[in-house]
């Protein structure tokens, strides 16, 4: 052991008990203290990898010792952190329950210094030994797996180099096979594939073309089309490869050989039964061969060959889905579509050494996981370093950065974030915490949590906008977060990281821009488009309801004269005056717009009759302005229980206005059926 | 006054505590902490407001502390109250006498400890 003392976490609600234990152990260990379960969870969350042992009381407020053990089981911390229970409770049931939940030892009160020291030390040493053993084991497995993969790769590359290919094909097929299988087991358990099976099939995929070694190289590397005879010879690589494997003496029962045989022989079969060499159909073709066949086709399409350029991933997938290259089970086609995006990035970053190494690391990781051993020291150090970096970036970041943890539920804010929100850095059970819900309304926060849980490991990012109350001000904020999913076969939601961005100014600017875009700059009334949008919305919302509307359209009879005689500035003044009169004689629920030039429209809902209103408006509008006599031609279309659209209503008002203009001007008229012949449509 | 004399005065088991905690110095350090511990106040408060789970935890804590320091007499009354409160939801007539006993023992114990200062 080096100079740095190992850390021990003491969880007890009595300060005196913690002090007593700490006093006994401080000479040999670094002590962290927590006074209840939730605090302990928080410390574990942050220092999980540094804590060598935990002393845990049972009876505590907020979250008791048994609950702590349950969560540690859920998070699998119990596998790496030995827990010794401490309590005055000596009842057998208590002890049994603690042991069942994974506690490794039990110290009862009153504490005896020798007992405490001895128990802690021996359990600590035991764990250290166990860790050393598992590291030893993991490096041995690593070496063995490395040799294995290396042998398979050398073998497969010999085939590829002879084939004039880069050798990346084997790696690609390996990766695609693995991704397809991982997707497949999420969709169905029909094939009963374990993690071990997936690894085996992915490894064996490298052997799919070994039979090509027996094909003459003139045929193998022929740039043009094969003659029928040549094609027959080429097809033999399936049977030849399988034979090479089955001829290996004494090894027929090795699972690698068995799966390799299936892949070699049947990776050119088709789901519809029209493949070779045996014409197997549907799920008579072993799943290993089906998957490798698909991986082989996808990589062949997306790679350059002597006889063809590379297709883009999207085109390749389309071709496969259309059945242009082979025939596959519908389920596998779904899997391929699902992983299409990740395939692009995954295959792009692939190069030789790195890919192999990744594969081996994954393998070792998986093996260790299934054997229940711990992560190696090396990865712990890496994690530590990453966390230090993360913490530093968080400290200097001006943004409100948060971490959401699902079980136990809490929110952790960056220091500056907490400061600018005016709330503490740690919020336990945020949905029920008043400090938090005052800032982030409970239903909004629950909406956010529901949304983030709906994300998937493939697509974990969420961006939502909420009206938050920050230091008593209501502000629109964008909450951007990435969900954290576990990396098991069925990933579980663990929490999220994200940031809160104040978009209030942005939002206000957008609103004012929207308003500007909707308004006519001369008069401040709506422009025609904006009015049409609003009126159409009202019409379609109230379809079938017994409502009455009037659409009024009018223009100035002598606007040209105003411009010609008094000048354009006066003309503008007339328009502005008219807008003022319109605003003064309508209600806020009415919609008034300038369509352009001297044409205006007015839309209103009315109860019994609209004529008095129209009369009053007409009178207001036609008051003289300065020396100018204002004359207006006005057409009104009234509808009741209307189920037509805006444009129809518009042409009716237009026809009524046209009638006024044709007859005597400076008057108003309501649309009636006699004007039907005047209806003109814009088209 | 020596620690041993103090233990005799407050009805506690000096030999036992010494065998476990090893030195007078350490025993004194933690005895003084007992005098400052807030669990007793918490117990009084919880019983007043009839917060039974909280009262149980406070009594339980006092019991644990006494056990660690071999404060035999106070331990006995703390244990009786703790057991009476275990799993209880309602306040009852059996509790006040047990509490009074604990209170008397607690006060004499703390007074004894204060004489060490």
Q: Residue A615 and residue A32: Cα distance in Å, rounded?
A: 85
What share of chain A has pLDDT > 70, as a percent? 87
Contacts made by residues A480-484, CB under 8 angstroms, sequence distance 24+? A481/A402, A481/A404, A481/A448, A481/A452, A483/A452, A483/A453, A483/A455, A483/A457, A484/A460
* pLDDT at residue A361 in the model: 55
Cβ of A88 within 8 Å of Cβ of B64? The answer is yes
Q: How many CB atoms lie within 10 A of CB A513?
A: 10
Tell me the nearest-neighbour CA distance from B116 into chain A, angstroms. 18
Answer with the residue of higher pLDDT: A304 or A484: A484
Beta bridge partners of A459: A456
Considering only the beta carbons, identify the residue of B21, B54, B65 that sits closest to A16. B65
The hierarchical CATH code for the domain A163-350 is: 1.10.3210.10
Cβ of B60 within 8 Å of Cβ of A59? The answer is yes
Q: For A59-101, how does the pLDDT look when each residue is reduced to its tens digit (9 = 90+)?
A: 887 788 888 998 888 888 888 889 999 876 666 777 888 888 8
Query: For residue A239, what are the contacts with CB-CB under 8 A and spacing of at least 6?
Result: A211, A265, A277
Asked if the model's pLDDT at residue A351 lies above 60, the reply is: no
Q: Residue A474 and residue A484: Cα distance in Å, rounded?
A: 29
Cβ of B30 within 8 Å of Cβ of A19? The answer is yes
Whether residue A20 lies within 8 A of chain B, CB to CB, comes out as yes
* pLDDT at residue A449 in the model: 93
Tell me the nearest-neighbour CA distance from A43 into chain B, angstroms. 23
Considering only the beta carbons, identify the residue of A61, A110, A113 that sits closest to B57. A61
Q: Where are the domains of chain B?
A: 3-114
8 Å CB contact between B85 and B58: no
Q: For A186-228, how does the pLDDT look when each residue is reduced to its tens digit (9 = 90+)?
A: 998 888 898 888 988 988 898 898 888 888 888 887 777 888 9
* pLDDT at residue A354 in the model: 46
* pLDDT at residue B116 in the model: 83
The structural architecture, per CATH, of the domain B3-114 is Up-down Bundle (1.20)
Q: Residue B104 and residue B74: Cα distance in Å, rounded?
A: 9
* pLDDT at residue A345 in the model: 78
Q: Residue A297 and residue A287: Cα distance in Å, rounded?
A: 15
In 3D space, the residue among A410, A411, A417 whose CA is nearest the CA of residue A396 turns out to be A417
Asked if the model's pLDDT at residue A13 lies above 90, the reply is: no
Which of B27, B31, B64, B79 is the best mutation test for A, with the most CBs of A within 10 A? B64
Query: Per mean pLDDT, which range of A368-382, A486-500, A669-683, B84-98 is the poorest?
Result: A368-382
Fold of A519-678: Alpha-Beta Plaits (3.30.70)
Please check whether the domain covering A397-509 is classified as CATH 3.90.1170.40. Answer: no
Considering only the beta carbons, identify the residue of B21, B33, B57 that sits closest to A59. B57
Token pair recorded at residue A75: 């998070």
- The arrangement of strands across the sheet holding A51-57 comes to A30-34, A7-11, A51-57, A83-87, A105-108
Cβ of B70 within 8 Å of Cβ of A109? The answer is no
Asked if the model's pLDDT at residue A377 lies above 60, the reply is: no
Query: For residue B53, what are the contacts with CB-CB under 8 A and spacing of at least 6?
Result: none
A236-259 burial, b at 16+ Cβ within 10 Å, e below that, comes to bbbbbbbebbeeeeeeeeeebbbb
Token pair recorded at residue A106: 């039990």
In 3D space, the residue among A490, A379, A387 whose CA is nearest the CA of residue A142 turns out to be A379
Query: Per mean pLDDT, which range of A282-286, A408-412, B3-7 is the poorest?
Result: A408-412
Q: What is the pTM of this model?
A: 0.42
- Write out B27-53 in H/E/C secondary structure: HHHHHHHHHHCCHHHHHHHHHHCCCHH
* pLDDT at residue A457 in the model: 86
Q: Where are the alpha helices (DSSP H) in A168-284?
A: 168-187, 195-204, 217-220, 228-235, 237-246, 255-266
Q: Residue A1 — pLDDT band, cuts 50, 70, 90? A: very low
* Residue whose token pair is 């003491």: A10
The structural architecture, per CATH, of the domain A7-134 is 3-Layer(aba) Sandwich (3.40)
The predicted model gives A157-177 an average pLDDT of: 76
Beta strand spans in A398-547 (E):
400-405, 410-413, 426-428, 461-470, 473-485, 493-502, 526-527
Q: Residue B85 — pLDDT band, cuts 50, 70, 90? A: very high
Residue A102: exposed, middle, or buried by beta-carbon count in 10 A (0-12, 13-18, 19+)?
A: middle
Token pair recorded at residue A346: 């995954």
Q: Residue A621 and residue A616: Cα distance in Å, rounded?
A: 9
Cβ of B63 within 8 Å of Cβ of A88? The answer is yes
Q: For A531-574, how does the pLDDT look when each residue is reduced to its tens digit (9 = 90+)?
A: 998 899 888 888 878 889 999 999 988 888 888 888 888 888 88
In 3D space, the residue among A433, A483, A424, A481 whose CA is nearest the CA of residue A453 turns out to be A483
Q: For A306-327, how does the pLDDT look when each residue is reduced to its tens digit (9 = 90+)?
A: 677 889 999 999 999 999 988 9
Task: State ipTM.
Answer: 0.75
Q: How many CB atoms lie within 10 A of CB A307?
A: 9
Residue B8: exposed, middle, or buried by beta-carbon count in 10 A (0-12, 13-18, 19+)?
A: middle
Which of A10, A19, A20 is the best mutation test for B, with the most CBs of B within 10 A? A20
The predicted model gives B55-73 an average pLDDT of: 90
Q: Residue A236 and residue A598: Cα distance in Å, rounded?
A: 85
What's the distance, CA A199 to chain centroid? 27
Tell me the nearest-neighbour CA distance from B100 into chain A, angstroms. 23
Cβ of A13 within 8 Å of Cβ of B57? The answer is yes
Consecutive H or E run containing A594: strand A591-596
Q: For A440-466, how does the pLDDT look when each residue is reduced to its tens digit (9 = 90+)?
A: 999 999 999 999 999 888 888 888 989
Query: Per mean pLDDT, which range of A290-304, A390-404, A521-535, A633-647 is the poorest?
Result: A390-404
CATH 3.30.450.20 residue window(s) in chain A: 397-509
Tell me the nearest-neighbour CA distance from A14 into chain B, angstroms. 6
CA angle A577, A581, A586 (to 5 degrees): 150
Average pLDDT over chain A reads 84
CATH 3.30.70.270 residue window(s) in chain A: 519-678
């Amino acid at each position: 052991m080096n100079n740095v003392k190992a850390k021990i976490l003491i969880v007890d609600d009595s300060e005196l008990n913690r002090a007593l234990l700490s006093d006994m152990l401080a000479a040999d260990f670094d002590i962290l203290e927590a006074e209840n379960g939730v605090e302990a969870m928080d410390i574990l969350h942050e220092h999980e990898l540094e804590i060598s042992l935990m002393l845990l009381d049972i009876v505590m407020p907020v979250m008791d010792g048994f609950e702590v053990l349950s969560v540690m089981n859920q998070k699998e911390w119990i596998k790496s952190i030995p827990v010794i229970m401490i309590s005055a409770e000596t009842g057998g049931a208590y002890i049994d329950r603690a042991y069942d939940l994974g506690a490794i030892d039990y110290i009862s009160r009153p504490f005896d210094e020798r007992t405490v020291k001895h128990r802690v030390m021996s359990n600590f040493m035991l764990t250290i030994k166990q860790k050393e053993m598992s590291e030893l084991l993991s490096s041995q497995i690593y070496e063995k797996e490395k040799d294995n993969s290396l042998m398979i790769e050398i073998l497969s590359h010999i085939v590829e180099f002879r084939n004039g290919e880069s050798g990346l094909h084997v790696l690609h097929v390996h990766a695609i096979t693995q991704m397809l299988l991982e997707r497949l087991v999420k969709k169905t358990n029909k094939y009963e594939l374990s993690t071990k099976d997936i690894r085996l099939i992915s490894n064996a995929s490298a052997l799919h073309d070994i039979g090509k070694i027996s094909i003459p190289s003139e045929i193998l590397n022929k740039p043009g089309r094969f003659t029928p005879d040549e094609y027959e010879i080429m097809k033999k690589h399936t049977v030849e490869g399988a034979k090479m494997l089955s001829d290996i003496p004494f090894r027929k029962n090795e699972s690698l050989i068995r799966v390799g045989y299936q892949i070699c022989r049947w990776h050119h079969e088709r789901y519809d039964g029209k493949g070779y060499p045996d014409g197997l159909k549907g799920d008579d073709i072993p799943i290993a061969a089906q998957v490798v066949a698909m991986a082989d086709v996808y990589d062949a399409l997306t790679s350059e060959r002597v006889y063809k350029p590379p297709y883009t991933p999207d085109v390749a997938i389309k071709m496969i889905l259309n059945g242009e290259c082979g025939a596959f089970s519908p389920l596998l086609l779904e899997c391929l579509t699902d992983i299409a995006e990740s395939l692009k990035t995954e295959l792009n970053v692939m190069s030789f050494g790195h890919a192999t190494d990744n594969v081996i690391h994954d393998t070792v990781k998986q093996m260790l996981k299934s054997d229940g051993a711990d992560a190696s020291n090396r990865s712990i150090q890496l994690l530590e370093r990453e966390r230090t970096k993360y913490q530093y970036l968080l400290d200097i970041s001006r943004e409100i950065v948060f971490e959401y943890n699902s079980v136990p539920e809490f929110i952790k804010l960056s220091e500056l974030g907490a400061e600018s929100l005016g709330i503490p850095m740690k919020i336990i059970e945020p949905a029920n915490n008043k400090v938090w819900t005052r800032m982030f309304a409970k239903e909004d926060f629950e909406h956010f949590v529901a949304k983030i849980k709906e994300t998937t490991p493939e697509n974990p990012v969420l961006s939502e906008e909420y009206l938050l109350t920050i230091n008593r001000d209501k502000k629109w904020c964008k909450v951007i977060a990435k969900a954290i999913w576990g990396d098991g076969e069925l990933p579980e939601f663990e929490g999220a990281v994200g940031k809160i961005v104040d978009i209030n100014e942005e939002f206000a600017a957008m609103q004012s821009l929207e308003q500007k875009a909707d308004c006519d700059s001369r008069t401040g009334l709506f422009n025609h488009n904006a009015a049409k949008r609003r009126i159409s919305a009202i019409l379609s919302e109230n379809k079938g309801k017994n409502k009455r509307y009037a659409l009024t359209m009018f223009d100035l009879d002598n606007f040209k004269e105003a411009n010609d005689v008094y000048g354009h500035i006066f003309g503008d003044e007339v328009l502005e005056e008219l807008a003022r009169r319109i605003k003064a004689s309508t209600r806020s629920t009415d919609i008034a717009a300038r369509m352009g030039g001297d044409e205006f429209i007015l839309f209103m809902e009315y109860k019994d009759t609209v004529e008095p209103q129209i009369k009053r408006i007409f009178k207001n509008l036609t008051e003289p302005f300065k020396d100018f006599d204002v004359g207006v031609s006005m057409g009104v279309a009234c509808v009741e229980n209307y189920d037509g659209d805006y444009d129809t209503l518009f042409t009716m008002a237009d026809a009524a206005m046209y009638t006024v203009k044709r007859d005597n001007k400076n008057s108003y008229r309501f649309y009636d059926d006699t004007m039907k012949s005047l209806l003109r449509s814009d088209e | 006054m020596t620690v041993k004399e103090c233990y005799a005065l407050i009805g506690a088991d000096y030999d036992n505590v010494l065998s476990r905690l090893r030195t007078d110095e350490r025993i004194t350090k933690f005895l003084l902490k007992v005098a400052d511990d807030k669990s007793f106040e918490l117990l009084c408060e919880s019983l007043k407001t009839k917060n039974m789970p909280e009262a149980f935890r406070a009594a339980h804590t006092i019991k644990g502390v006494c056990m660690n320091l071999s404060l035999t007499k106070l331990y006995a009354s703390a244990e009786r109250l703790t057991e009476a409160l275990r799993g209880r939801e309602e306040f009852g007539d059996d509790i006040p006498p047990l509490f009074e006993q604990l209170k008397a023992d607690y006060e004499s114990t703390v007074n004894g400890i204060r004489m060490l200062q």
